[in-house]
Chain A
Amino acid sequence: MTTRPVPHGLRSLATAGALAAVFVATAAAQDHPQDPRLGRLDAGARSLVAVVIDSARAAGLPTEPLVQRALEGATKGAPGSLIVSAVQRLAADLGRARAALGAGATPPELEAGAAALRAGAGTPVLAQLRRSRRQTITVPLAVLTDLVASGVPVDSAAAAVLALAAGTRDADLIDFRRAVERDIALGAAPTAATAAAAAGLQSTDATHVNAGARDARPGRP
């Protein structure tokens, strides 16, 4: 029996392959270690939150909002059980938002969609918003949520946002929300304030030629 010497190129290839395989295996093992930021949670809550986050990751949902919600609870000194239930609820809402918005929805859209669902908007509203606007719908969803938080009935808020979303820029939608909140603070009925601000925005769409100048100063929430 005779043995043939292994060519040098093949040996190099084998070495490179073995090294790459080791690298890949190591990277895979470390791919999703527990987020060190979760160390701020107590041990019981940490493990349960980690399970929720792993499940969300496996389902293709964004995990950063879940981490942030857990951190918010930890910083505010909430009990572990409250933190876990809040994270679980948010994960479920993110899943519903994705079902309504489609697999192509971005993480900010899903986060805003989850908040809109929590505010009472139905999944058909989210799906309709998705169809009506070519750009990202993060801001329309956020405005819808904020209007509901300001006391506008969810149906009125949804109708106004759907009417404006297709042809209105993000900045103008945020101005619209501010106008509604201001009018409500001044005593207007929420539904009337919403309708008036929407009508005003639709009638002045052509006046925003130089609206980019607003970026020169820091914005306000």
Chain B
Amino acid sequence: MFEDRQDPVERIVSHVRHPVRIDPALDGRVMQEIARGESVRAPGAAVAGWRWLIRPRQFAVSPLGALALAAGLAALMLALPRRGPRSGLPAEAARREFQFVVVAPRAARVALVGDFNDWDATRTPMRPAQRGGSVWTAVLPLSPGRYRYAFLVDGSRWLADPAAPHVHDDEFGAPSSVVTVGGS
């Protein structure tokens, strides 16, 4: 079957041991091809970032961990400043001082009461413009909004402000006025 008597295995080994000649520039060409392929296929940073963002992931959270997370979020919501009753208004900077004046001859004390002081007759006492005079005044900072108010003379007599609009519906049998504070 073979022309010579050499063992076929030895012939193969002999052939494999024979050095193969390789083009010395081959390495350089291969590396160039690899570099060129990467530069063509590599996405930009924005694309890579977007893919990272939209790639679905699975998170494993224990029930206790979920409870802690929910409780933390709820605590954060409670800690945030709430919208108060007049919180749709501009901040404190928008407050303006208003002067309230009433003429009450022979009055011993006059109080300004209204939506701005919980209708508490003790919180905003008015002062006579002159000692023993009949003109009583009070200056109050007010945020934008609409307030009902009245003057309480000697703790028993209610007076509306003659210089201000009166309330349209006097539901309690004693007159009140309104002051409107604008924001612009």
* Docked-complex contact B85 and A63, CB < 8 angstroms: yes
Q: Which residue of B75, B119, B158, B182 contacts A23 across the interface (Cβ within 8 Å)? A: B75
* Docked-complex contact A108 and B89, CB < 8 angstroms: yes
* Docked-complex contact B75 and A115, CB < 8 angstroms: no
* Docked-complex contact A23 and B71, CB < 8 angstroms: yes
**Stretch in B14-22, B48-56, B163-171 touching the partner:** B163-171
* Docked-complex contact A145 and B168, CB < 8 angstroms: yes
* Docked-complex contact A219 and B97, CB < 8 angstroms: yes
A37 within 8 A of B: yes
Q: Which residues of A contact B148 (CB under 8 A)?
A: 68, 72
* Docked-complex contact A72 and B184, CB < 8 angstroms: no
* Docked-complex contact A16 and B68, CB < 8 angstroms: yes
Q: Give chain A's interface secondary structure class.
A: helix
Chain B interface size, as a band, is 35 or more
Chain A interface size, as a band, is 35 or more
* Docked-complex contact A174 and B121, CB < 8 angstroms: no
Question: How far is it, in angstroms, between the C-alpha of A135 and the C-alpha of B88 when the chains are bound?
Answer: 12
* Docked-complex contact A73 and B120, CB < 8 angstroms: no
Question: B residues within 8 Å of A by Cβ?
Answer: 64-65, 67-69, 71-72, 74-75, 78, 84-89, 96-101, 113, 115, 118-121, 139, 144-146, 148, 152, 158, 161, 163-169, 171-174, 176-184
8 residue pairs bridging A and B, Cβ less than 8 Å apart? A17-B64, A24-B78, A64-B84, A68-B148, A107-B85, A111-B146, A170-B184, A220-B101
